[in-house]
């Protein structure tokens, strides 16, 4: 199975040590989204979500836009993501979090650091 076909295999592949392909640092694995500082989320990051404290992460989205927080908006209100399952361009991260159970939404983040490919 290619490394990008499932949420779990993509995470494992991205954070593993290798000489070819994308390399990422993983954050917040196994914790609620509230443990992520929204200010640390950057364009190109991948967010993976699941509902509840156990089980597999079931969905990956890419951070596509990030605005400036102007009260009363929170940091998650100005982060936008794109996804393929139920095609959605520039969905607010707040909406994503709500759809995965708000306070029961677990989220982890992949921040890509480098990538090396053959010509």
Q: Give 31's contacts (C-beta < 8 A, 6+ positions apart).
A: 106, 107, 108
pLDDT band at 1 (very low <50, low <70, confident <90, very high): low
Q: For residues 81 and 87, is the Cβ–Cβ distance under 8 A?
A: no
Helices (H), the chain: 7-15, 93-99
Domain boundaries, the chain: 7-116
Quote the percentage of the chain above a pLDDT of 90. Answer: 68
Phi/psi region, residue 30 (left: phi>0; alpha: psi -120 to 50; beta: rest), is left
pLDDT digits (tens, 9 = 90+) for 57-114: 999 999 999 988 777 777 999 999 999 877 889 999 999 999 999 889 999 999 999 8
Which of the two residues, 40 and 72, has the higher pLDDT score? 40
CA 1 centroid distance within chain:
21
- pLDDT value at 28 more than 90: yes
The label of the residue with tokens 């089980």 reads: 55
Give yes or no for a cis peptide into 72 (omega within 30° of 0): yes
């Amino acid at each position: 199975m290619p490394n990008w076909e499932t949420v779990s295999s993509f995470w494992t592949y991205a954070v593993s040590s290798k000489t070819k392909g994308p390399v990422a640092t993983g954050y917040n694995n196994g914790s609620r989204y509230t443990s992520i500082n929204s200010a640390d989320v950057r364009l190109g990051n991948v967010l993976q979500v699941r509902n509840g404290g156990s089980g597999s992460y079931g969905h990956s989205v890419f951070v596509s836009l990030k605005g400036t927080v102007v009260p009363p908006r929170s940091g998650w209100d100005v982060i936008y993501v794109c996804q393929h399952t139920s095609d959605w361009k520039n969905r607010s991260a707040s909406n994503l979090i709500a759809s995965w159970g708000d306070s029961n939404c677990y989220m982890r983040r992949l921040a890509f650091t480098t990538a090396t490919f053959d010509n």
